Chains A and B, each alone.
Chain A
């Protein structure tokens, strides 16, 4: 059982500002279903550029909900310039600290805030574009890792995992993370050793998975539902996307046709050219 502070528990049991703002001025969405946590932050500004309202929806553990709740309390009444200065550590401190293993929840809060502000300013920051993906499993870039190390004074791979999730899956990126820690701590100007120069445009597994999820949700599911069917994303392995058809779709004799021509086509168009859809039978 996590050792949560009383204040964190209070924000989890009684979260502030849960909900939706109609016509928000800025929206930030981070995380994904596959990762196990996600946060959607909506902000409203008054005529003086002050954040007059903030609301959130979240899918996540106790500390994710508490971090989002705390964040909204912290930013309401602040100007964007003031809000921008909030770090993940500020969120954690506001909650009287949180377990090391859960610090990535505070980072998710800060990322959602940045995304909402960027959305308001109509800047497409595309944060993943800024750096190079280091952790393929969770899609974390070197920029994000260095930032977390600097802002929080991290010294070990384990800490980086707690704060960013990087290195929490297959662990093959651990040497790279170590090099990044050394770089950030020494504030050296030299380049991080990059054994394999990763192509910029390539999507990490988790980015791809997130895109697939979104595409299924927005483009494909509504169409299937109109015919009394549904679709579930089961898993992904490289470019192969495993899905199961539900309801009318699962018994429809033309479902093979539906899958190939429709789902795969959409995913290839909107996610990646090389996607192969595999139907999993119940």
Chain B
């Protein structure tokens, strides 16, 4: 059976080149990079190289790169590290559509006495920058706003946002887990203090992340107990995975220009064809300002999990914002914040592509999906009420 993986915002396959680069570190190159012998020394140079590869993708200085265990750790560390450095400030600004690694951490802090502002978005998932401006005060310790949304792909104007925040002298963190490797990030000009990346979203394995910390930024580590990462993250370095994310960043950089256009065209074709062949379908998110790989589309009167199971039966992997797939009983907080009607939230499907997707994959989805939606609508009481 044909298989199409179109859930790359959830995770990506490890690039074969990345796997190749990692293998020696499970075999001969097992030393601890901190050790004072050649076993350690020969590993340490690979650690240095990986740091350079990541820095190069971000146009940053290698010293500004800290390796972590995942995107969530990077997000938590940036916020924690700032709050600990500015104990007198008790206010955090974020958005209603952040990934839970930021949103739930902020709500956890709120329970512990911090004041948290969650900025709203409009129907297209866009922020109101005046609202951001007005939310800032002398008490604001940090602003954490994602670069691109994982569910809709909507890209926030991080340069403008960073400017507004930095003009007030406030620390700015951006969760760029979805943007990293998909669109160019230039930290030499971007007014950002902290930026998070995750390995497994850009064809490195799960279990490794990056926190960019701009030189001169006050920071207090989350993990304490070792000198590693210049005292910014204790714990013996996960060398094979760090080598893996280094290689993955190098590949992302070399493929970016060409793949961004090709993947964008594939996504656009998928969107146009699905809207054409399936009635009562709508795209969620600002179509003019999205990651090139992401399509979030709703089909009225059908439920997401059923769509995903029927897609999976045809070999297609995607995801949904419906309540049944969220692991909780509530549907997607992102689509709710955008004011997407319930009838469309529960029937939302996200397709997210990668450089391994082909024209054939898109044709296959276009061939299979309309009959799946039609079949579910035939048994839906809401559909028969509509038609």
Contacts and interface: CB of A to CB of B under 8 A. Distances in A.
Are A and B interaction partners? Answer: yes
Contacts of B322: 36, 61
B206 interface: no
B272 interface: no
B382 A33 contact: yes
Contacts of B381: 29, 38-40, 57-59
A39 B385 CA distance: 13
A35 B345 CA distance: 11
Interface string B181-198: 000000000000000000
B342 A65 contact: no
- B interface, how many residues as a size bin? 20 to 34
Contacts of A12: 306, 309
A165 B329 contact: yes
A125 interface: no
B341 A36 contact: no
Interface in B323-367: 323-325, 328-331, 336, 339-343, 346
Contacts of A56: 379
B380 A36 contact: no
A168 B330 CA distance: 8
Interface stretch (B100-108, B222-230, B297-305): B297-305
A138 interface: yes
Contact of A65 (B304, B328, B336, B379): B379
A265 interface: no
The interface centre, meaning the residue of B302, B322, B339, B342 with most chain A CB atoms within 10 A of its CB, is B342
B329 A169 contact: yes
A62 interface: yes
Contact of B378 (A18, A217, A233): A18
B380 A13 contact: no
A15 interface: yes
Contacts of B346: 33, 36, 59
Interface string A20-37: 100000000100011111
Given A36-B346, A232-B341, A58 B329 contact: no
A195 B313 CA distance: 49
A12 B346 CA distance: 18
B384 interface: yes
Given A59-B380, A65-B379, A36 B339 contact: no
Nearest to A213: B342
The interface centre, meaning the residue of A18, A19, A57, A282 with most chain B CB atoms within 10 A of its CB, is A57
A40 B339 CA distance: 27
Classify the interface of chain A: helix, strand, loop or mixed.
mixed
Interface string B275-292: 000000000000000000
A62 B123 contact: no
A94 interface: no
B382 A38 contact: yes
B306 A61 contact: yes
A59 B339 contact: no
Contacts of B340: 234
Contact of B380 (A29, A35, A58, A217): A58
Given A59-B303, A62-B306, A244 B380 contact: no
Nearest to B320: A61
Interface string A129-145: 00000000010000000
B149 to A, nearest CB: 19
Nearest to A4: B309
- A interface, how many residues as a size bin? 35 or more
Interface string A159-178: 00100010011000000000
A38 B336 CA distance: 20
Contact of A36 (B331, B336, B378, B385): B331
A13 B311 CA distance: 11
Contacts of B328: 168
Interface string A224-239: 0000000011110000
Contact of A33 (B310, B330, B339, B342): B342
Interface in B363-387: 378-385
A33 B303 CA distance: 9
B260 to A, nearest CB: 29
B379 A234 contact: no
A60 B329 CA distance: 12
A57 B384 contact: yes
Contacts of B342: 33-34, 36, 213, 233
Nearest to A31: B381
A15 B330 contact: no
A12 B375 CA distance: 12
Contacts of A244: 339, 341
B349 to A, nearest CB: 14
A161 B327 CA distance: 12
A36 B303 contact: yes
Contacts of A33: 342-343, 346, 382
Interface string B306-320: 100110010000000
A36 B324 contact: yes
Given A33-B342, A165-B329, A59 B382 contact: yes
Nearest to A36: B323
A13 B313 contact: yes
A242 B302 contact: no
Given A61-B325, A62-B309, 5 more contacts: A13-B313, A57-B380, A57-B381, A169-B330, A280-B123
26 contacts: A15-B379, A18-B379, A33-B346, A36-B329, A38-B381, A39-B381, A57-B379, A57-B380, A58-B379, A58-B380, A59-B302, A59-B381, A60-B306, A61-B304, A61-B306, A62-B306, A64-B303, A138-B329, A161-B329, A217-B385, A233-B341, A234-B339, A244-B339, A244-B341, A280-B339, A282-B123
The 6 A-B pairs of least Cβ separation, nearest first, read A168-B329, A61-B305, A61-B324, A36-B323, A57-B381, A232-B341
